[in-house]
Structure 1
């Protein structure tokens, strides 16, 4: 039955595999108890289904299955209350069987607990990553970026260290989507995000701010050094070979606006100044970096 169940799992026949495993454990427990007695400990194997029920089934179905399992367990106990084992064994051998079954169940419960804990931890990690990152580019999303920047600006209020903002926008991105398709546009966004991340420092914060626009926040960086960083990103994009799926070359450039956080600023005002610098970059012919107006 286990061989068939294993092969069924390999063929994605999960329902058949689970049914066979359930049937084997239930029958095995019943045979062990009826033949050599309740003290053999074969009934403990039934308890391993309890956590599995709530992981593999909907709540209502799990509750129904749990009630059925409890009824079967009690019925087996009552049966052995009124009848003697069909094939009793010596007390020493019975103790050995009991200790063996108890040890196996302990090991299996330990493994199941570890397995479920690993599943929950992994799921929580994935959910947290999904909550704070943009699914396409892997950069921070706007909501989480806002939270991180506000924390950075609170540090600015205490220490007065410089903080710079760079707003970057892919030039003529709509025409890329229109001419080559949205799938190509998505690949461009992914690659541009990777280049921006690679050209900035590990302590710099980078997010997809919206559409084809990105925001970089550079702690401990003044306006001039932020301009150098933005230029480095712009030049890195120029050295990249951009090809559409049909092999046609795509011209990808980026425009950027740079601002520095001021004492009387809040987050919106600092980003708005970088946005205005970005608009001047667009108006000035694109593929350039502009600083905020003094």
Structure 2
């Protein structure tokens, strides 16, 4: 096993390894209970095996905490394989110690490549069948009473059932979290954390439909940073990105909670103002323009920087599409730039 193989999962599956670490504590607690049970059942070999098992799970827990996942994995595998074999050989198949071998199936799927997981599953199946064959043809070395055997079986079944349930809920939460993250990434601009163009287009179409249905006004603002190329050329693209990030936050502060804002292009932002006519929209645009022009950029960027905006806005007309509405706002924006920039124009 290479060092790269040993560290697989340390960074890409941190949640799984944290769950594995917690499972070590659960398993150690179960083995402590088994120590007492087998002392009572007069099976000293299995009783003291559980002491060794507790120590192995303790070391595995420590290894997981130090991100030595390969070492922890070997300790857990060794403990379960040997413990299952000893339990079956000493007190029989009906003890249910073979249930614990099934716990490896989801772990193999998560921690290995498909090819290695298939090989490991085949070996696990052969081991499982081998133990069954031993139990079938050879009587247990230290048999216990039938009621005690049933009790041990139910105890093992309960533990494995509980741990499978825990893992099942963990996987459901993990998948749900991953879906939410993917949806967020698919709809959010990575730099500004605003809506991206595709998602904002969908939201704007919905707002236009609502505005037409209820005969409500809707105004759109198209905002562009003046001379943004010069900001990049003089201060560098890193500072340019910081300007975009701070600008997005500042614009958001000037809007209502239900207003929509997204990054439309490189240095362009699109704002959708539901239930807002052109006059009110012009006031909002002017408030944004003034807030940006008066903002002290040196407090965040450590640079003496002047940032201004040009804004074009348009109000939704009867039976007007989003494309036509944006085109009119774009013409208004062009008029603002032609007139000297740092101004608001409505069309």
- Please give the TM-score of this superposition, normalised by the length of structure 1: 0.94
2:117 partner SS: helix
**1:177 corresponds to:** 232
Does 2:281 correspond to 1:187? no
**1:130 corresponds to:** 185
The 1-side partners of 2:239 and 2:98 are apart by 59
Q: Indicate if the aligned counterparts of 1:184 and 1:244 stay in contact, CA closer than 8 A.
A: no
Q: Deviations over 1:137-192 (max 9, x none)?
A: 11111111111111222223322211110001111211111222211111111111
Q: 1:196 aligns with which of 248, 251, 256?
A: 251
CA shift, 1:246, in A, is 7.6
**1:82 corresponds to:** 137
Q: Indicate if the aligned counterparts of 1:180 and 1:244 stay in contact, CA closer than 8 A.
A: no
**1:280 corresponds to:** 335
Q: How does 1:29-40 map to 2 (within 5 A)?
A: 29-40=84-95
Q: How does 1:96-175 map to 2 (within 5 A)?
A: 96-175=151-230
Q: Indicate if the aligned counterparts of 1:257 and 1:274 stay in contact, CA closer than 8 A.
A: yes
Q: Deviations over 1:50-70 (max 9, x none)?
A: 122222222222222222211
In structure 1, list runs of 5 or more residues that go unmatched: none
Does 2:234 correspond to 1:208? no
**1:63 corresponds to:** 118
CA shift, 1:278, in A, is 1.0
**2:80 corresponds to:** 25
1:258 partner SS: strand
Q: Indicate if the aligned counterparts of 1:255 and 1:289 stay in contact, CA closer than 8 A.
A: yes
Does 2:121 correspond to 1:73? no
**1:13 corresponds to:** 68
CA shift, 1:244, in A, is 8.2
Q: Deviations over 1:110-129 (max 9, x none)?
A: 11001111110100000000
Q: Indicate if the aligned counterparts of 1:261 and 1:270 stay in contact, CA closer than 8 A.
A: yes
1:210 partner SS: coil
The 2-side partners of 1:75 and 1:122 are apart by 40
Deviates more, 1:84-93 or 1:138-147: 84-93
Q: Indicate if the aligned counterparts of 2:218 and 2:316 stay in contact, CA closer than 8 A.
A: yes
In structure 2, list runs of 5 or more residues that go unmatched: 1-55
Kindly tell me: are residues 246 and 115 of structure 1, through their superposed partners in 2, closer, same or farther at Cα, counting changes over 3 Å?
Answer: closer
**2:275 corresponds to:** 220
The 2-side partners of 1:178 and 1:35 are apart by 78
Aligned residues: 292
The 2-side partners of 1:170 and 1:107 are apart by 58
The 1-side partners of 2:340 and 2:179 are apart by 46
Q: Deviations over 1:213-235 (max 9, x none)?
A: 00011111111111111112122
Q: 1:263 aligns with which of 311, 318, 330?
A: 318
Root-mean-square deviation (CA, aligned residues, Å) is 1.6
Deviates more, 1:41-50 or 1:146-155: 146-155
Kindly tell me: are residues 162 and 184 of structure 1, through their superposed partners in 2, closer, same or farther at Cα, counting changes over 3 Å?
Answer: same
Q: Indicate if the aligned counterparts of 2:242 and 2:301 stay in contact, CA closer than 8 A.
A: no
1:215 partner SS: strand
Q: Indicate if the aligned counterparts of 1:257 and 1:290 stay in contact, CA closer than 8 A.
A: yes
The 1-side partners of 2:293 and 2:73 are apart by 56
Deviates more, 1:190-199 or 1:205-214: 190-199
